[in-house]
Amino acid sequence: MANNRIARTNDDIQRVLSELLRSVKDPRVQQGMLSVTRVETTGDLRYAKVWISAYGLKDEKDFKRGLKSAAGWLRRELASSLSLRYTPELIFELDHSIEYGAHINSLINELDIRSEDDTQ
**Quick one: pLDDT at residue 31?**
78
Judged against a pLDDT cut of 90, whether residue 39 lies above it is answered with yes
pLDDT tens-digit map of 56-107: 788 888 999 999 999 999 999 999 998 888 899 999 999 887 778 888 998 8
Total domains present in the chain: 1
Q: Phi, psi (5° rounding) for residue 60? A: -65, -45
CATH at 56: 3.30.300.20
Determine the Cα–Cα distance for residues 85 and 75; give it in Å rounded to an integer.
13
- The model carries a pTM of 0.78
Q: Angle, nearest 10°, between helix axes 2-21 and 60-81?
A: 120
Question: What is the secondary structure of 75-109 as a DSSP string?
Answer: HHHHHHHS--SSPPEEEEEEE-HHHHHHHHHHHHH
Q: Domain containing 69: what range?
A: 2-119
Residue range 27-50: mean pLDDT, rounded: 89
Query: According to the model, what pLDDT value does residue 51 have?
Result: 95
SS3 37: strand
